[in-house]
Amino acid sequence: MREWIPRVIVVLIFIAVGFFQEWLKVNINWFIDHIAYVPNYNMLSPDDRLKELSKMDYNAPYDYYYSHSTINQLANFTSKQLAVIKYGIAIILVGFYFVLNRFAIKNILRREALMVFLRYIYIGMIATVALFFGMYFFWKHEIAMYNVGRELLGFLQSPMPIIVLYLPALFFLKNNNTA
């Protein structure tokens, strides 16, 4: 009867972390995009950085990228530090979602056979993301490579891996919940 409680909790965690990661990534990307237009950004104090960035405010209440609340503490970091933070957060989120997807498969779906496929999905997708990001960084910043890598990374930072695994499992695995 109470089997729905862990399911609801996992779904709420997926939703909450999804909103949090979006807010955090939008903030970091906004800073990275805008500091390129601030002369000597890395030499300024955090307060001066925020003043310079506030000059670029754009009134677009319909566009979350411009209307989100800013994390002012990001002004404490240089442009290179922000890039490291951005990719560090991506790695942490991939790990977090792997653990959450694994937990959902093991404890909610109870389909142990899917655990192997989940690992294959993560290993294969991480290798593919690394390939696309590598092509971006070493191939004259070809933006298409970055965009494809970013989309694949977004797949790993979501509940999509268990959705992709579970739907075929409904048809091909035994119904005894131990398959």
pLDDT in tens, 53-103: 888 777 666 666 666 677 889 999 998 999 999 999 999 999 999 999 998
Least reliable range by pLDDT among 3-12, 22-31, 58-67, 87-96: 58-67
Residue 123 has pLDDT above 90, yes or no: yes
What is the C-alpha to C-alpha distance for residues 84 and 23, in angstroms, rounded to an integer? 17
Percent of the chain exceeding pLDDT 70 equals 89
The Cβ of residue 125 has, within 10 Å, a number of other Cβ atoms equal to 16
What is the reported pLDDT for 175?
54
Alpha helix segments (H runs only) across the chain = 4-35, 46-54, 64-67, 79-103, 113-138, 143-156, 160-172
Nearest to 153 by CA among 132, 174, 178: 132
Structural domain spans, the chain: 4-172
Q: What is the mean pLDDT of the chain?
A: 85
Eight-class DSSP state of 173: S
Residue 168 has pLDDT above 80, yes or no: no
Residue 14 has pLDDT above 60, yes or no: yes
What is the reported pLDDT for 179?
43
Residue 135 has pLDDT above 60, yes or no: yes
Eight-class DSSP state of 105: I
What is the reported pLDDT for 165?
85
What is the reported pLDDT for 178?
46
Q: How many residues does the chain have?
A: 179
In sign, the C-alpha dihedral spanning 27, 33, 39, 43 is positive
